[in-house]
Structure 1
Amino acid sequence: MSADQDETPAVTKSTQVIDGETVEVYQLNNFNLEDHMKKLAEKMRSNPFVPPVEGCPINTLPNELLSYIFTLGAQLDIADDKDEEEIDDNDSDEEDEPTLEFQVLTSHVCKRWRDVAIQTPSLWTRLDFTEGPPFGKSKTYIERSAGCPLVIDIDCTVPDDDSDEEEEEEVEEVEEFDETEEVVQSDAAAPDDEPKSSAATKRKSRSFGPADLDAIRALILPHVNRWRIFELMTEDYAIMHHTLGALATAPAAEQLKMLHLYHYDDTDDIEHFEPAELRAPVVPFAGQAPQLVNVALWGVHVDWPRCDFFQGLEELELAYHAQDPQAYASALLERLVFPNVSSLALDLEEEDYSAFIMQLAAPLPGKTKSLLSGLQELRLSGLPCNDAAIDKLYASLPNVVDLHLNRYHLEEPFFTKLFPQAPGAASSSAAAGDVSVPLPSLQNLSSSGVDGEQMHQLAEARIAAGRPLKKVFMEIDDLVEPDDEKWLREHLERFEFFEGSDDEDELEIDGIEIMSDDGLEAMSDDDDEVSQD
């Protein structure tokens, strides 16, 4: 037998029965775990970690660069918080552990980091007051922010899962955390102005009482001139009204860029503004906020004619207003100029909006044309008005290519007035040269609540008048006889049925929707919304 055959194999395979189950076992014959650990320990002793003689490498960075790193870290911290808010709470059963805000955490590492952090004003500009009275954290932040623009976020809403038991648990968590925090601070020689209570923790929103809000206003109103973002969320309009009153006494907001006032009301289909005694509109900041570009008003009234700060807006969101807004909408319309608007959707009800339509069709201030003259797409889902207003509306739409009519919520003339009309007559049988054709650029028409015979007649009349429809989309539930469908398919470039659905690209503003460019493109194509019958 050769020497090679006498050598013990490195791995031996065997079969064993463990708990009644037969398994294959592989054994390393030339490996001893104890010897291996001894060798590993010896290797580690011969190659110990030697800390740098001059300390941690990050300490070689200049203060300016360290400050910039802190700023980036704080920004990432804020972004992470926003991402967490957008994610569904799948771990709701797990307890939320309080955590230090990034800028506070860095100020607890060592004395140098603390000095750099405190001397970086941009780290201390976000105020949310969630620490509760007496708002020591917020006072400290305001002092440290020096002259930097402030971001103010006041959330007065009560969390859906709010309960006394949860509040007690949260207090216990914070108290335990504060003990740990004090140990860290002792190493950093923290001065008395450092937030030491729940001020330093990220907590859920809480409900502020009247006294708390008065204290908050007393802290922030002296600094209105350096507000950059102001956001208030509340379910109680009395709180909103009180705040509006305070803003009405404030001076001009010279650096304010975003103003978000959200009144959350669970009541659906409010017909009248309530409480009526708080309906009177106000003028925040003496009507002066020259840098304001983004405004959101949810159920909040302002005095449009006296507010000069809306002239430079890039984004305006109006939502959750009562269903009696015609006078308010008219006052708003006088202040807004949309020279380049290409798509408009109206979904109004209850009142007579004839005067509002006449205002829409009138020339813009300082212009010879109306807001409607440049429209390429119009969606009508509800618009109570008289026949004269409809005539005025259609006469003001020379460039509309796409029209969407929901006849379930519109009077019949909105459809019948699309027929070619002889001057002074309602007949659609006059010669082509003697008729005027409403919406002369109209090519694509989608409808709900119109039957096949009506659409057949309209398409045929517009072909005879030299202004043919090219594409027609009808709701799948509307009655269309086979003969009418056959004629429409033969005489149009495209005829399809669709199922009614909401378009996520629409921005609803109190029943008035202004389409984004992406939304307009999607609706012009309509490929995703239609389906073959």
Structure 2
Amino acid sequence: MKNASTSKLVHTKDVLHDNPFVAPSDGRCLINDLPAELLSHIFVQGAESEHGEGSGNDDESDPSCESISELDSDDGSHSSHHSFDSDDERHLPFELLVTRICTRWRAVAVEETSLWSTIIVTPDTEIDKVKEYVRRAKGAPLEIIIDCTVDDDADEEWRWETESLAAHQPESTTLVDVLSVLMPHVGHWKAFSLSVSYFYPMLHALKKFAECEGAPMLEDLALYHYEDSEDIETFHPAEYKDQAFVLFHNNLPKLRQAALWGVHIDWKNSTFLENLYEIELAYHTLDVRPSYKEFVRIIEASPQLHTLTLCQSGPAGMPIDWLASMQEAASSDSVPDSFLGVTLPSVENLILAFLPPDYILALLERIHMPNVISLALDFEEDEYRPVVDRLCEPGPGSSKPLLAGIQALKLSGLPCSHIPSVIKAAETLTSMKQMSINFNHVDTVWLDLLSSPVFPAGTGALSTLSTPGTLFFPSLEAVSLTGLPGEIIRNIVSCRKEAGKPLKEVYVNKEDELDWEDEAWLKTNVEVFELFEGSDDEDIDDDLDDVLDLDDLDEEDIAEDDQDDAWEDDDDDDYDYDSETGVVFHL
């Protein structure tokens, strides 16, 4: 019996020999055998993975640090045997978590500058956090995200407009302190995003940027002013309308992406908007929009422009005003309307939202974009039949309609009561592979078109409006749907499968609350089925900057909505942030 037990023990040791899940008997920690370079690479990959997926911590607390001076002490005071005994500690971001494991890991992580080069700030952020991240990042390119917005239900006393009162707003106080830390390091900013609820804090930032000689490494500049106002004609507060300064002295040689939401600049003298890949102009009142001449200069100065977004913004006025503005560039007092024509062959992604039909028609007539393959539309209230008809016709200098080349279409809102126009649009969308549609804001005829990819002769109310046997959306492979019950979605999938044009991917808004039977059926009948979390009522506001990447049609797009959480390591001086996943299917 003794020999049998001894034999079994020897056999067990042999089996467990070199098993990576069993600790060595001599007490060695195998991971400590990794060279610092490899360990550092693992940390970077872990942090990038977590930042992409979101930390999952919704707690907005941001405990203050007690001893910044002890942060990088070498005496082991950070405790290599720390136990995670609170929810905040369990949700530390990856770069902070690895500093709490042991002395060696902490030393490697602290020296890896890329772990600390993304700085996220909210009104709760401790200024010491910003200082410490900057210190650890050293000279690495900084990606800065500052969210100083306040809740919509904030007290009215915060809605101050004069400078003397606005300067005391909590959001502006945070911004003043943070910029005082960050501006000295503007030479290695790579990306900068600022979100505010009121204009004064934004004005403070703009003035600081105007004092700066330049940001030579800045590639992405995003300025968001979210103040809710029903007045789309006049900028408020009026005293901040005119700007006698230029940001960064026009010294932004590497700028490639620019987003200006509710933030205007000195369009005439600002020449830094050039060589861009993406331009996003949104929510500008009529009196602060660029003139047509200035608008044309901006888009023509970017020959590689890939994405153009105009959301309640664009060149000021209408064609008669556009002609007047172009006279400044002409040698005569009058110029023909054809002088307004601009061709943008590089633009592939076009987003148009909250603009009246006659304005859209005027733009499409004069700004030619023959190679658009991704189109997002979000309109409301007016009748957009003329726009739909125009999209189905070849533009000036083009042999095909704009819709004929569309591979990805997003309809967040498209009022069009003329059914033949909608059917004509469907007949033209022969190249469309992906479609995102909000049925809360489009006509139900789009549902009939999706459900009946082939119209049989003599049946159905719509069959008289289209040639029998017409195949709608023959290239369609993926749909993203909002506002439909499960049985209707299942019917769409079944009908297209029966017609020989099956859908491969289906994404459904979580708000539609499908039954578990519907989810199970969809998972069985399509290659990919996922639920996505849409923005408020699927409006374009949260989705404009998430244009579909047609090089990777199967990937889930992630929209960041960064915020702080508990920040502390064993010396109570590290940080956390959270992120929000956006709509799965973005255009």
TM range (shorter): 0.5 to 0.7
Runs (5+) with no aligned partner, structure 1 = 1-38, 86-94, 164-206, 418-436, 460-469, 478-484, 519-533
Query: 2:383, 2:417 within 8 Å by CA — same for their partners in 1?
Result: no
Whether 1:382 aligns to 2:345 is no
Kept in 2, the 8 Å contact 1:139–1:219? The answer is yes
Change (3 A) 1:348 1:256: closer
Q: 2:280 aligns with which of 309, 317, 320?
A: 317
Could you say what secondary structure the match of 1:216 adopts? helix
The structural deviation recorded for 1:246 is: 0.7
C-alpha deviations, 1:172-208, integer Å up to 9, x for none? xxxxxxxxxxxxxxxxxxxxxxxxxxxxxxxxxxx84
Note closer, same or farther for the CA distance 1:438–1:415 as it changes in structure 2 (3 Å cut).
Answer: farther
Pick aligned residue for 1:144 from 127, 130, 136: 136
Q: Can you give the 5+ residue segments of structure 2 that lack an aligned partner in the other structure?
A: 17-21, 59-85, 156-168, 331-337, 405-413, 430-442, 446-461, 474-480, 483-533, 551-587
Between 339-348 and 270-279, report the one with greater CA deviation. 339-348
User: Matched residues in 2 for 1:243 and 1:78: separation?
Assistant: 26
Q: 1:118 maps to which residue?
A: 110
Aligned 8 A contact 1:225 1:255 in 2: yes
Distance 2:152 2:540 in 1: 26
1:212 aligns with 2:185: no
Question: Are 1:371 and 2:363 counterparts?
Answer: no
- For 1:77, the aligned partner's letter is E
Q: Tell me how far 1:382 sits from its aligned partner.
A: 3.0
1:58 has 2:23 as partner: no
8 A Cα contact 1:295 1:317, kept in partner: yes
Distance 1:96 1:371, change over 3 A: farther
**8 Å Cα contact 2:40-2:108 kept in structure 1:** yes
Matched ranges for 1:218-367 at <5 A:
218-268=180-230, 270-281=232-243, 282-325=245-288, 327-328=290-291, 330-337=293-300, 353-356=318-321, 358=323
Shift of 1:329: 5.5
Given that residues 323 and 340 in structure 2 are in contact (C-alpha distance below 8 angstroms), is that contact kept between their aligned partners in structure 1?
no
Amino acid in structure 2 at the alignment position of 1:71: V
Distance 2:313 2:143 in 1: 38
For residues 54-75 of structure 1, the C-alpha deviation after alignment (integer angstroms, 9 at most, x for no partner) is 6100011111111111111221
Instruction: Give the 3-state SS of the residue equivalent to 2:259 in structure 1.
Output: strand
Q: CA 1:340/1:441 → structure 2, altered by over 3 Å: closer, same or farther?
A: farther
Deviation at 1:148, TM superposition (A): 0.5
- The answer to whether the 8 Å contact 1:128/1:153 transfers is yes
- 1:229 alignment partner, SS class: strand
Q: What's the TM-score, normalizing by structure 1?
A: 0.52
**How many Å apart are 1:283 and its aligned residue?**
2.0
Q: What is the CA–CA distance in structure 2 between the aligned matches of 1:312 and 1:254, rounded to whole Å?
A: 14
Query: Shift of residue 233 of structure 1?
Result: 0.9
User: 1:489 offset after TM fit, Å?
Assistant: 5.9
| CA distance in 2: counterparts of 1:349 and 1:133, whole angstroms | 33
Report how far residue 245 of structure 1 moved. Answer: 0.7
Which residue is 2:47 aligned to?
74
One-letter code aligned to 1:122: S
Cα distance in structure 2, aligned partners of 1:321 and 1:285: 22
Deviation of the 1:235 alpha carbon = 0.3
Report deviation, 1:239: 0.6
For the 8 Å contact 1:354–1:384, the answer to whether it is kept is no
Structure 2-normalised TM-score? 0.48
User: What's 1:181 paired with?
Assistant: none
Distance 1:111 1:336 in 2: 53
- Cα distance in structure 1, aligned partners of 2:212 and 2:313: 37
Deviation at 1:355, TM superposition (A): 3.1
Percent of paired sites with the same residue = 28
Report the 3-state secondary structure (helix = DSSP H, G, I; strand = E; otherwise coil) of the residue aligned with 1:317.
strand
Distance 2:41 2:371 in 1: 52
**Structure 1 residues 409 and 123: CA distance shift in structure 2, 3 A:** closer
Aligned-pair CA distance for 1:314: 0.8
The count of residues paired between Structure 1 and Structure 2 equals: 377
Q: Secondary structure at the match of 2:252?
A: coil
Q: What is the 5 A alignment of 1:384-463?
A: 448=416
Shift of 1:507: 11
Task: Measure how far apart 1:244 and its partner are.
Answer: 0.7
Farther-moved stretch of structure 1 (321-330 vs 98-107)? 321-330
Distance 1:517-1:217 versus aligned 2 partners, 3 A rule = closer
Q: Cα–Cα, structure 1 residues 103 and 274, in superposed 2: closer, same or farther, change >3 Å?
A: same
TM-superposed CA distance for 1:333, in Å, is 2.7
1:109 to 101, 114, 137: 101
